[in-house]
Amino acid sequence: MANGHPLTNVQQRDINAVLHPYTPLHKLAETGPLVMGHGKGVYLYDTQGKAYIEGMSGLWCAGLGFGDEEMIEAANEQMRTLPYYHLFGGKGMEPAIELAEKLKEIAPVPISKVFYTSSGSEANDTQVKLAWYYNNSLGRPEKKKIISRVKAYHGVTVMAASLTGLPGNHKGWDLPVDRVLHTDCPHHYRFSLEGESEAEFVARLAKSLKDMIEREGPETIAAFIAEPVMGAGGVIVPPSGYFAAIEPILREHDILIIADEVINGFGRTGNWWGSQSVGMTPTTISAAKQLTAAYAPLGAVLVPEDVYQAYVDHSAQLGSFGHGFTYGGHPVGCALGVKAIEIYQRRNIVEYVRGLTPTFEARLAKIKDHPLVGEVRSCGLVGAVEMVANKATKRSFDPAHGVGSNLAKFLEGHGAILRALGDTIAFCPPMIITEDELGELFNRFELALADTEAYVSKNGLRMV
């Protein structure tokens, strides 16, 4: 039964055949999956014909929405020309070359080469392997630890999930693996001391990072990885001056700075890259998601010339550069990446996002006064609403009550989709959303928030 109704045939078929990621599997047979049929613009339509505003761009990725004819035609054209080939053994393809050139052109720091993967998880997994390879090339076999952060999200491969700093990605999976460290999360609202200003908070986090490096031994630490704006950890925007405070510490000890731009990149934060929005100057960059506007799976790692030359030197020592993926640089994905960047440029998507940002911020600010809301935060067109049991003390709800997941379900009832990250609700609408559509998304969210307040009051959850 789903919402008191028998499961449809397609729902039952799904339950019988599909293993769903990030899903309470023990409840799925009872609730039934929400099965989508088609999409157009910022709207999705389920198999029963109900329309939903897709407020999360799928999984932070469908920046151009659904059914973009230019993207569809680009895929069709490439499928007719060369539907698949690879880059192994020195092979090349025009789409992979052209996309690498475009990425170099728009990168926030000087980039020499682009390595392709099929996802953001693979890109971050590759970052670790490349950092190890780089230090082996330089004769530093002990310089292998990677520093990530509490509440970071970097993917779900064994290494990427280890970099991730969320308990749900570690419990039950025997993670994290060795060589991964987690330093403090730069979330002032949640982790500051009483009376501590943002500047004092930043200084404390910088000292904590420095202490970790000295305690572990800088000669053992290869890289530091960070999302400019943290995504699945709750859309956490770092305080002003955070990266300016920590980067000199990292550079002093020759620690690579990896920017995980998988969610942030390609206009989402009001700049081409999240790094530019928060004052981060990375050594290397991971990209995916809006790289193809989600019209095909594709990820990329961007590296500078000096790092690349270390790969060349080690390849000469070993006889080859022994890393790659069957679908890394897939010609259809690369053709769609080229087209997506062309569309972002031609439609001035960065300026468009900046134009919508005041409306986005204003609607979030309006929600901030609600009795269930502890904090709202945003950067460009990505944001979050964090719900609390007590505004004054910032006390969270007991996770067992599923306040956030209930709000997400109420929202589906009102015809919109957002993502519950615990009791934080994330917003990441397609970057093509109009001001009216954005307003309607927030209207529907406010209805769901009222439903949630009623649910909390009925069950006395503030007191638990």
135-171 residue pLDDT tens: 999 999 999 999 999 999 999 999 999 999 999 999 9
Q: Do both 269 and 320 map to the same domain?
A: yes
Verify cis geometry, omega within 30 degrees of 0, for the bond prior to 176: yes
- Mean per-residue pLDDT, 243-249: 98
Question: Does residue 23 fall inside a structural domain?
Answer: no
Question: Does residue 7 fall inside a structural domain?
Answer: no
Contact 209, 183 (CB under 8 A): yes
Q: How confident is the model at residue 56 (pLDDT cuts 50, 70, 90)?
A: very high
Q: Which residues contact 363 (CB under 8 A, 6 or more apart)?
A: 438, 439, 442
Q: Over 90: is that where the pLDDT of 464 sits?
A: no
Q: Do both 339 and 395 map to the same domain?
A: no
Please report the pLDDT score of residue 141 as a whole number.
97
Please report the pLDDT score of residue 5 as a whole number.
77
Residue that finishes a domain, picked among 346, 361, 392: 346
Of all residues in the chain, what percent are helix, strand and coil, respectively (each to 5)? 45, 15, 40
Please report the pLDDT score of residue 463 as a whole number.
72
- Mean per-residue pLDDT, 91-120: 98
Q: What is the mean pLDDT of the chain?
A: 97
Question: Does residue 357 fall inside a structural domain?
Answer: yes
Q: Which residues contact 161 (CB under 8 A, 6 or more apart)?
A: 154, 155, 169, 170, 173, 175, 176
The domain total for the chain is: 2
Please report the pLDDT score of residue 66 as a whole number.
98
Give 447's Cβ-side CA count (13 Å radius): 15
Q: Do both 275 and 258 map to the same domain?
A: yes
Parent domain of 458: 34-67+348-463
pLDDT in tens, 418-454: 999 999 999 999 999 999 999 999 999 999 999 999 9
Can you tell me the distance from the alpha carbon of 332 to that of 318, in angstroms, rounded to the nearest whole number?
Answer: 32
What percent of the chain is modeled with pLDDT above 90?
Answer: 97
Q: Which residues contact 192 (CB under 8 A, 6 or more apart)?
A: 198, 201
- How far out from the chain centre does Cα 273 lie? 13
- Mean per-residue pLDDT, 182-206: 98
Please report the pLDDT score of residue 228 as a whole number.
98
Please report the pLDDT score of residue 462 as a whole number.
82
Residue that finishes a domain, picked among 346, 375, 400: 346
Instruction: Say which residue the tokens 């900046």 belong to.
Output: 354
> What pTM does this model have?
0.96
Q: Over 60: is that where the pLDDT of 410 sits?
A: yes
Q: Over 70: is that where the pLDDT of 21 sits?
A: yes
Contact 391, 418 (CB under 8 A): no
Q: Over 90: is that where the pLDDT of 334 sits?
A: yes
Question: Does residue 22 fall inside a structural domain?
Answer: no
**CATH number of the domain residue 102 falls in:** 3.40.640.10
Residue that finishes a domain, picked among 346, 374, 408: 346
